[in-house]
Structures are given as structure tokens and as C-alpha cells.
Amino acid sequence: MSEQVPETLSPEEAAEEIDTLVRELTYHADLYYNREAPELSDAEYDRLFRRLQHLETAFPALLRKDSPTRRVGAVPLTDFSSHPHTTPMLSLDNAMNGEELQEFLERTERLLQRRKEEEEHASEEALEWTSEYKFDGVALSLTYIDGVLEQALTRGDGVVGEDVSENVRTIRSVPLRLSSPEEERFPLPERLEVRGEVLFRRDDFLALNEERVERDEPPFANPRNAASGSLRQLDSTITAQRPLSFYAYSASVREQVPFPDSHFEQMQYLHRLGFHLSSRFAICTSPEEIFSHYEAALVEREELPFEVDGLVIKVNQVPLQELLGARERSPRWAIAVKFPPVEAFTTLEDIEIQVGRTGALTPVAHLTPVPVGGVVVSRATLHNEDEIRRKGIRIGDTVIVRRQGDVIPAVVSYVAGKRDGSEREFHFPTRCPECNAEVEREEGEAVIRCLNPSCPAQTVQRIIHFVSRKALDIEGLGEKLILLLVEHELVSDIADLFSLTTEAVQELPRMGEKSAENVVSAIRAAREGVPFGRFLYALGIRHVGERTAKIIAEAAPTVEELRHLSEERLLELPEVGPEIARSVLAFLNSPAEQELLDRILAAGFHFQAHTPPTEHSTSLAGKSFVLTGTLSRSRGEVQEEIERHGGRVSSSVSKKTDFLVAGESAGSKVEKAKKLGISILSEAELRALFA
């Protein structure tokens, strides 16, 4: 290709050419991806694209946030940073049926009437509603400054979100630059916030899962998780390969600038700027219209490429929305009307017993594959023995399976009318189906457990847990490989992982030298710098989840201290009740577990030193502080620490203040805070909040 050598360009010339290329490529990409009306051949487009990439490499300072080259991803991050939302991302109240919807509509109308009277609101404008799909994806807030996408935040806890800008720049349906709309009435605002939902198509989701299973990676439970997992990749080139889409559902501007004052018109405005919207979107002026819109949507939903879990009904007029206001978590002017769960009939072919990490025997239903709400279901959990008995389900039954939201498919019931007498009752095994050891049902427990601590099925599950993402996060050690390692007797417990050699691993079927080497070095690398809490979680002690492990590790940050934990001490810890304490003590008092722990530690673990609060902690998110009196550190230092934890510091006490931090000889602010019922903290109490 006859590229002009960039060095012969001055930075000014390069900037000019980059500007032209960005504009042209943006224009043509829109024609190609959004309007399906390309004007350039693929080859010509590629040539321009590569030219731009070339110039950006030669002049890195000229790389722009709205460059189409960002669509392929950027340099990987080490972590996402947290940022507060300009206004909280609220949730929606739900109406589960027509009655609840009717109630909402009436209540809102009454409230509006009252508010109008109170505020002497003159307008007699009739209340209008909009109805649109409720997307079942991942919420995102996009900020455009002068038409350029500056920041994309996830919802987070609603107050503080994670910055996923680089990833979002790879999503084709997110415009990187907004071209000014044609109309003069509403020029592009200086700052525009667009909120919406990132979605994964159902067919893409199925294809992705197939690939993942092939590669020995765990499949995603549903399209929403696939969207979320794709969006939260530190390496945006991975996100770029995932077919994500963005659908907008709200727009806001901060300043008093001309902007459409109804939800419907705002959405039309976004559409003109290039955003995708709910395919069903209507203004309704009566409850009857809303109900008939709902009926039509119910039929249509199954054919949509995406999952939708209901409709959102909103007051159309923005001034009326403002008059109605919001509760702490949800606006008073909108409601989500949920669709009923998706169900299907199929045959229960068999019941298989799976042995889990803690030896629990779980019955799993094998079903004749059936599409349920767009996803083919062939397995479903039956929870436990009692559940099967309670439902009276037999093998061979026609059953109803249900999927809703992120729940694993469940067998709801059998269909009595379909029985022909050939159905068989299921008998729960009295021995472990994997190792033939005895099983036991503890008093008061629904779960039946295999009592053999060296049951190979348990070993496999314990190892899967040990290396999983939230535990030691050992890459390349998937379920299939773990099964092979156990089957070939290279590994019979977690500790054996650390004495694996490349030579031994590479003897396994379909294992090359390079992959074997990678796995072995990933296992070795996992011994370095693990926070002790994660290690404790990885051990898979019953009832000790991620959070509890962290709490225990804070109280006992070394193995020595862990081993000396008493029941009293455990019970003093936040969120640790008798059940957890008993389970931890059982682990500590079990000679077999302790011997295993010794062998794991002998592999040479170096734990991360006790971590101070992370830089992006959000423990004080949304909380407002005022400092007063003489503190033992400078005000600046204290303020910085509060902000590092997501809080804000302001200078005067008001109703909005959450805490007053009072040092020595504090004065009038304490009085004011007392009057307003605001919590007053000493420095020590503030430190406790940080922890």
C-alpha cells in the first residue's frame, strides 16, 4: 500500500488529516452498521481505517476519544475506576399485574392533582403516558461533552459507577461523536447524559456459550450475564469481539438549555442523534391504551432478538415528572410492568445426582430440550429430595419448566393429565453415586451429603472452586482439565496441583507442551500475592463465602491466627453466626483438613500484606460530611481520605449533611447538627467508618 510516510507530515497536517478521516469513517460506519446503506466498498473503508491507525501510531498525542479506531479496543486496564453519577441511577417500582398497574395510574393521577394545587401549577395539560420495553440488560450512563463521548459508567450501586468507557467505545451502536441534529430548535447541548441498557442478542448468547464450553470456560447463565461479563473486561479488545448493543431509555441535560420537554420527544431526539430505542414505544392517553399496548407487547416479546422482561410506563411530560419527584430509590412517575415468567412443557427424561464441593448430592433434571423464552433448556435443578417429593415429580412426567430473569431454569410442576402410568418414582440414592461411600442427611437439613472426604467428585468440585475467578483465579485450568487431572490420578486434592510438572500435564490427551507449560506456570504464579481472605474463600469451607472469608481474614490475617480462632472470637465478628462459626471450627478441628492445609501451604504461598482500604473504595458513597474543631490530622488529609472512600466534604451543616466530624473545641456546628438530628462522630468513629 502506498502510505505517505507520516514523518513527512507536520503535526498540524497530521491533525487535519486525522480530523478528516475520523469524520469520513464515522459517516461511513453509520451508513454501514446502522442504515445498511454503505457508500464505500469494504476495501476502501479498510484503507481509510488503516491510514488513520497509522497516523495515530505515528502521532500518539493526536489519538482522539471519538476515533473509530477505538471500536477495536485500547490498552488493557488493571482495574476500573469508580466515579459518582451526576444524578443517582434509580430503580423502578414493579407492577406484577394489571391491578397493580391500574393502582399506580390512579395513584399518580391523584398525587399530581394534589401537587398541582399545592404548587398552584397553572397548566391544565392532560396527563400523558409513554410505554416502552423494559430491557433486560446492563444499565449504562453515557456522558457526552460537546458531542463527544467522554465517559461511560455502569450503574454500580446507583450512586457510584464503574468507568467502562474504553469498553463502551467498542460498541457500534454507541455513537462516539454526535452530529448536530438537523433542527435548529434544539442545538446539541454542551453536556448530554444518555442512559440506557447494554444488551446481548439471544442468538449471539447461545453461540458464545457454545464457544465457551468448547474452550472449557463456564457458560454464561443468560444474555444479561453475558452482556455484563463482556462489559466488565479489563481488556477492551475482548469486549470489541462481543456483539453488544446499546438501547437508550433516557436523556438529560444539566444546564437550562433548550431541550425537548417530553420523554417521547427526547427519545425521538436521541434517535435522530443515532441511538437505538425500544422498538415498541407509544404515547398513551388512557389506561385502556396502556393495557392494549401491553397485550400486543406480550405477543411480540418472544420474537424480539433481545430479552425484555416487561414494559416501562412513564409520565410523558417532564414538568409533570418533576412535580411528582422521586422516592429514595425510584421515581414516582414511572413503573415497570413485569411480563409473566416464560414457561414451556417438556419431558423429564431422567434425574441425575451431582456431587458438589461440600459433598452435597443435588438432583438435576434431564429434560427433552425445549426453548423457553428464546433459550433452549435441557437441564434444570430439582434442589433436593424433599423438593422432588413435595412436587410429586416422576421420571417420564410431562413437566412445566420456567425461566425468569437470571434464575436457573426450574421445574415448576408435573402435568397430571399427561400421566399414562409409565412414569417411575425417583429414589434418592443411599450411597454416593460417584464413590459409593455412605451418605448422610443431617438433622434439620434438606441436603444429603457424601461422607467420604476423598470422594473424587468432591475433589473435582473443590479444585474448580479453588481456582475459580473469585478465589485464586488460575487461568487455563478449566473444568475439563481438572476432570482429566483427577481421572489420570495426577491430582487427588488441591495440594497436588502445586507439584504438577509440565511433563506430566503434557501427557494428558489433547494437551500440547505450550498449554501444559502455561497451566503449570499459572498454578505456580497463583501462590504469590494472594490476599489471605481470598485464599480462605478458595479453601471452600462450608458457609464461608467471599464476604465472610474477608471478614474472618481481617480478624485473623495469618494462618497462625486463623488456627487460634475461638468460637467466642468468631461469634464477635460481623455477620458471623453460630452456623458459620461451627463450620469454621469443624474445618479447624478436622485433622484431614488441617493436613491438607499444611500441604497446600508447603507449596510456598506468599500472602498479600493486610490491605489498606483500596483506592476506589465506595464504603462512604453518597455520604456528605462536614469537619469541625481541631483534628489530629490536617483537614485536607481527612477530606482526602473521606473522598477516597466515595464520600463528600462540604463546609456547612445542612439537612443534606449525613455526618459531622467534631474534633477538639468544636463550636456552633455541633449545636446545629444536634438540632437537625445529624450524627456526630469523633475521629475514632470516623476511622471505624473507613474500616
> Could you tell me how far CA 187 lies from the centroid of its own chain?
35
| Amino acid identity at 274 | G
Angle at 637 between CA 631 and CA 638, to 5 degrees: 55
Nearest Cα neighbor of 128 from 330, 335, 313 is 313
Between 197 and 385, name the residue whose CB sits nearer to ligand IVH.
197
CA-to-CA dists, residue 358 to 213, 331, 462, angstroms:
24, 44, 8
Q: Are 171 and 244 in contact (CB under 8 A)?
A: yes
Smallest separation, CB 88 to ligand IVH (Å): 9
513 in helix, strand or coil? helix
Return residues touching ligand IVH (CB under 6 A).
89-92, 132-135, 139, 155, 197, 249-250, 278, 312, 331, 334, 336
CB of 140 to ligand IVH, least distance (A): 8
Over the range 574-596, which residues count as b (16 or more CB within 10 Å of their CB) and which as e?
eebeeebbebbeebbeeeeeeeb
Q: How far is the CB of 192 from ligand IVH (least distance, A)?
A: 16
Residue 70 or 134: which CB sits closer to ligand IVH?
134
Q: Which is nearer to ligand IVH, 278 or 384 (CB)?
A: 278
CB of 334 to ligand IVH, least distance (A): 5
Short-list 597, 377, 361, CA closest to 461? 361
In the complex with ligand IVH, the residue whose CB is nearer, 89 or 160, is 89
Hey, is 512 helix, strand or coil?
A: coil
DSSP secondary structure, 436-487, as one string: --BEEE-TT-S-EEE--TT-HHHHHHHHHHHHSTTTT--TT--HHHHHHHHH
Residue tagged active-site, from 116, 134, 674, 675: 134
- Write down the least CB distance from residue 89 to ligand IVH, Å: 6
Residue 44: other Cβ atoms inside 10 A: 12
Nearer to ligand IVH, 127 or 670 (CB): 127
What residue is closest to ligand IVH based on CB? Answer: 139
Which residue number, 269 or 537, has a Cβ lying nearer to ligand IVH? 269
Total number of residues shown for the chain: 691
Cell triple for 676: 437537625
Closer by beta carbon to ligand IVH, 405 or else 612: 405
Q: How far is the CB of 361 from ligand IVH (least distance, A)?
A: 37
- Name which of 605, 49, 115, 147 is nearest 321 in CA terms: 115
Find the shortest distance in angstroms from Cβ 132 to ligand IVH: 5
Q: Of 121, 270, 135, which Cα lies nearest the Cα of 199? A: 135
Mark whether 134 is an active-site residue: yes
Residues 340, 341, 342, 347, CA torsion sign: negative
Q: Could you list the active site residues?
A: 134
